[in-house]
Amino acid sequence: MSTTSRIADRAAAFPAIEREDVSLLLVLPGLFLFAAFMFFPMLYLLGISFTNARPSNLFAGGGFLTFGEATFVGLQNYAAVLSDGKFWNSLGTTWLFVATSLVLKIGLGLGVALVVTNQRVRGARFLRSLLIVPMGLPAIFTITIWRGIFSSAQFGLANQLLNWLGAGTVAWLNERWAAFFAYNVTEMWLAYPFMVIITVSALQDVPKELHEAAMVDGAGYFARFLHVTLPSVKRPVLFASILTAAASFQQFLIPYAFNEGGPARLNELIIVYGYREAFQFSQYGQGAAIMLVAVAFIGAFMWLNVKKGRLADGVDEA
Amino acid sequence: MSLVSLVAEKIADDVRNVVNTPRELAVEARYAVGAYRRGELSALQLGRTAGATAFAVLVVALLLFPIYWIAMSAISGTGGSVYAAGGFSFFPENPSVQPFVWVLGDLIVPPLAISLNVPFTELALVFNTPEIAFLDASDHGVDNPSNFKQYFVNSVIVSVPTLILAMCVIVPAAYALSRREFIMRRKVLFGYVLFTQVGGGLGIASLIALYAMFVQVGLNNNRLALAAYYAATAVPFNTWLLKTYMDGIPVSYEEAALVDGAPPWRVVTEIILPLSAAGLATVTIFTFLTGWMEFVVAQTMLSADKFTLPVGLFALIDEYSIPWARFSAFALTFASPVMLVYLFAQRYIEGGLSFSGMEG
């Protein structure tokens, strides 16, 4: 028996290094790059959250991945954060934002999808391709434009609309609930192409026979909507809702670009709160603790997505 | 090159569609009116169709109105600053390209003197190239153009290395995930899809630590380090996308090549890569756009002279002296090429996949 074949036998007897597993080497560079910039900072963030890090002490002394002259303070940051009214306000506002924007997104998505899949509408395909145009716009573009729309001055589009309706002007970004409303409208507009795509494809999968059978039975438009359309699109819309709710929860750009979560820090969604705490008030330790609380919620969304979403289907088909 | 002709074909298709749809609608409408005249169609049915179509058009128009508004603002000559009063009208009163000239500034190739020494003599040929002025801003009354060109260069410096680095790790991984069976394969796929679908905010959440790490090694305010970060964030979605694309290539092609005695690397270079050209183009576009469109991390890391286009755009909105028309023109010049390229690439994403990754 030659040496090479003996080695091959030995390798075959070793399940961990099967020949095929060598292919893992092709995936590892990407995985390593991703981990280096995503998981590694996450671990370091965990470390920072247990120290009293500020720019002045964290960067003193130098050294990579050390904590400089910052000292270990245990769970003090978490205690400080959890006993801070601003944190609970931020968390409450975030969940309220998730709820209101989700309702608006589903409503608009379903409404628009119903309109453009109506059989009587001519050129529906063309209209649908126009509808998803905003998807290609960079988020920062869309958000700065909407900030212009909600400009407090008379020139802002929203105020011009109010003027035209005979109402006075509103200082959109200087009042808490007006700003919150503006966030919601913008989030709705950002997400509607996604919702429309999902809902339209779900609506197109509803068998025509069902509608025809219901019509024969004398069901009107709304009865058919309630008993035929809604049950058939429920599941895809639920999947989409999980994803879009997670996106709402993690929304950073809208509050940040509109008025930095103002006025008076009242509208800071959780990620904005952590970001400002760290970068504008130099509380790296507390900022890290806030971010980790947010990450725990994102983890919950991930779990929900694995349990209820279509994620597993996607990988299984593959 | 076949890819270029493929792209050209698709664009021609789109243009034909855009032109033909209204024409076809007109033909259909004429036919329907004819049918009504002949009594084959009741007035009620005709009216309902027309009403439903008009309503749908109205809905679409309302939803797209902000884009129209910004386009009209950009070409209005009289638009005041964001904080000045000014009326709205559907068409600008004094349309002008001046805001766009302000964005682009001078586009001038300066004159160059090229001298060639003729060998073995003391003669030299001296050429003076003429100054080529594509656009001279002062001709249009713009004295102080925007920093668009500087931001553009910064964006290129960030996005091109992002693209190169990302493609180097994405293509082999996508091939392995599509064609090979190995330990951890499903776990890696699962993790990538999960991150793409729900992990959008994790990057910002860990930004504090990332910033600290960059500062510790002195790489904050470094565009190449930023590019490496963007490449890392582009990995999950684009690997998944390219993998699904490669899944569509029939395995029998590879088997045929293997039967003919081709070594594995030739199967990859001569079958897999050419057949996934469209997928590669899509992934190229998406990885390039990762760096091109990102705002938060760039804003945290870079200082003013290294701002990329999104950061530059955001910096403008806080300058109260910038007229709204100029701001709109800047925003559109940044966004419209992105939008066209993105929508083009997006068509290659199959229905199922658009579910898993396209949420903003």
pLDDT tens figures, B295-306: 999 999 998 888
Residues of chain B numbered 18-47 and touching chain A (CB < 8 Å): 21-22, 24-25, 28-29
**pLDDT (0 to 100) of residue B85:** 45
A155–B84 C-beta distance less than 8 A = yes
Choice among A180-184, A297-301, B82-86 with the minimum mean pLDDT: B82-86
Q: B1 CA to chain A: closest CA distance, Å?
A: 27
B239–A30 C-beta distance less than 8 A = yes
Whether residue A312 has pLDDT greater than 80: no
The SS3 of residue B6 is helix
Residues of chain B numbered 315-354 and touching chain A (CB < 8 Å): 317, 324, 327-328, 331, 334-335, 338-343, 346, 351-352, 354
**pLDDT (0 to 100) of residue B353:** 43
Residues of chain A numbered 166-185 and touching chain B (CB < 8 Å): none
Whether residue B87 has pLDDT greater than 60: no
The contacts found for A9-13 with CB under 8 angstroms, 24 or more apart, are none
Q: Rounded mean pLDDT of A5-20? A: 55
B193–A315 C-beta distance less than 8 A = yes
A301–B169 C-beta distance less than 8 A = no
Name the token pair of A106.
Answer: 């589903």
Please check whether residue B300 is in contact with residue B73, taking contact to mean a CB–CB distance below 8 angstroms. no
**pLDDT (0 to 100) of residue B92:** 64
**pLDDT (0 to 100) of residue A318:** 43
Identify the band that residue B17 occupies on the pLDDT scale cut at 50, 70 and 90.
Answer: confident
- Selection from A58-72, B113-127, B135-149, B243-257 with the highest mean pLDDT: B243-257
Please check whether residue A261 is in contact with residue A269, taking contact to mean a CB–CB distance below 8 angstroms. yes
**pLDDT (0 to 100) of residue B96:** 74
- Degrees (nearest 5) of the Cα angle A19, A20, A26? 115
Please check whether residue B356 is in contact with residue A236, taking contact to mean a CB–CB distance below 8 angstroms. no
How many other CB atoms sit within 10 Å of the CB of residue B203? 22
Q: Tens digit of pLDDT for each residue in A245-261? A: 999 999 999 999 988 88
Is some CB atom of chain A closer than 8 A to the CB atom of B203? yes
B205–A291 C-beta distance less than 8 A = yes
d(Cα A54, Cα B208) in Å, to the nearest integer?
Answer: 11
Which residues from chain B sit within 8 angstroms of residue A310, using beta carbons? 355-356
Residues of chain A with CATH 1.10.3720.10: 77-317
Identify the band that residue A94 occupies on the pLDDT scale cut at 50, 70 and 90.
Answer: very high
Whether residue B165 has pLDDT greater than 90: yes
**pLDDT (0 to 100) of residue B357:** 35
Q: Which residue of B has its CA nearest to A38?
A: B203
**pLDDT (0 to 100) of residue A33:** 93
Name the token pair of A128.
Answer: 């649908």
Kindly report the CATH number that applies to the domain delimited by A77-317: 1.10.3720.10
Please check whether residue A36 is in contact with residue B232, taking contact to mean a CB–CB distance below 8 angstroms. yes
d(Cα B131, Cα B108) in Å, to the nearest integer?
Answer: 7
Q: Higher pLDDT residue, B117 or B190?
A: B190
Q: Tens digit of pLDDT for each residue in A216-249? A: 888 888 888 888 888 888 888 888 898 899 999 9
**pLDDT (0 to 100) of residue A293:** 92
**Pick from B283, B325, B49: nearest CA to B170:** B283
Please check whether residue A73 is in contact with residue A50, taking contact to mean a CB–CB distance below 8 angstroms. yes
The SS3 of residue A305 is helix
**pLDDT (0 to 100) of residue B275:** 85
* Class in CATH terms, B148-318: mainly alpha
Q: Rounded mean pLDDT of B279-292? A: 89
Whether residue B167 has pLDDT greater than 90: yes
Axis crossing angle, helix B148-179 with helix B223-247, rounded to the nearest 10: 40
- pTM of the prediction? 0.84
A135–B213 C-beta distance less than 8 A = no
Identify the band that residue A182 occupies on the pLDDT scale cut at 50, 70 and 90.
Answer: very high
Please check whether residue B244 is in contact with residue A318, taking contact to mean a CB–CB distance below 8 angstroms. yes
Whether residue B254 has pLDDT greater than 90: no
Please check whether residue B348 is in contact with residue B279, taking contact to mean a CB–CB distance below 8 angstroms. yes
Which residues from chain A sit within 8 angstroms of residue B21, using beta carbons? 123, 126
For residue A310, the 8-state DSSP code is: S
The percentage of residues in chain B with a pLDDT greater than 90, rounded to a whole number, is 18
Q: Which residue of B has its CA nearest to A276?
A: B208
Which residues from chain B sit within 8 angstroms of residue A14, using beta carbons? none
Please check whether residue B54 is in contact with residue A121, taking contact to mean a CB–CB distance below 8 angstroms. no
Identify the band that residue B166 occupies on the pLDDT scale cut at 50, 70 and 90.
Answer: very high
B339–A136 C-beta distance less than 8 A = yes
**pLDDT (0 to 100) of residue B137:** 67
Q: Rounded mean pLDDT of B87-111? A: 71
Whether residue A292 has pLDDT greater than 90: yes
Q: What ipTM does the predicted assembly reach?
A: 0.86
Work out whether strand B107-109 and strand B132-135 pair parallel, antiparallel, or are unpaired: antiparallel
Beta bridge partner(s), residue B108: B133
d(Cα B82, Cα B94) in Å, to the nearest integer?
Answer: 18
Handedness of CA B268, B270, B273, B276 (dihedral sign): negative
Which residues from chain A sit within 8 angstroms of residue B195, using beta carbons? 38
Whether residue A107 has pLDDT greater than 70: yes
Residues of chain B numbered 225-244 and touching chain A (CB < 8 Å): 228-229, 231-233, 235-236, 239, 243-244
Is some CB atom of chain B closer than 8 A to the CB atom of A165? no
Q: Rounded mean pLDDT of B192-199? A: 85
Identify the band that residue B83 occupies on the pLDDT scale cut at 50, 70 and 90.
Answer: very low
Q: Which residue of B has its CA nearest to A193?
A: B359
- Among A21, A37, A97, the residue to mutate for chain B (most B Cβ within 10 A): A37
Q: Which residue of A has its CA nearest to B353?
A: A314
Exposure b/e, B88-111, CB count within 10 A at least 16 = b: beeebeeebebbbbbbbbeeeeee
**pLDDT (0 to 100) of residue A251:** 92
Q: B114 CA to chain A: closest CA distance, Å?
A: 43
Q: Higher pLDDT residue, A315 or B242?
A: B242
Q: Higher pLDDT residue, B233 or B47?
A: B233
Residues of chain A numbered 76-95 and touching chain B (CB < 8 Å): none
**Pick from A269, B229, A259, A257: nearest CA to A277:** A269
Choice among A286-300, B108-122, B152-166, B210-224 with the minimum mean pLDDT: B108-122
Name the token pair of A26.
Answer: 């092709």
How many other CB atoms sit within 10 Å of the CB of residue B272? 19
Which residues from chain A sit within 8 angstroms of residue B360, using beta carbons? 135, 139, 190-191, 194, 247
Chain-wide mean pLDDT for chain A? 84
Whether residue B358 has pLDDT greater than 70: no
The percentage of residues in chain B with a pLDDT greater than 70, rounded to a whole number, is 86
**pLDDT (0 to 100) of residue A9:** 60
Which residues from chain B sit within 8 angstroms of residue A138, using beta carbons? 292-293, 310, 334-335, 338
Please check whether residue A199 is in contact with residue A238, taking contact to mean a CB–CB distance below 8 angstroms. no
How many CB pairs (< 8 A) connect A and B? 326
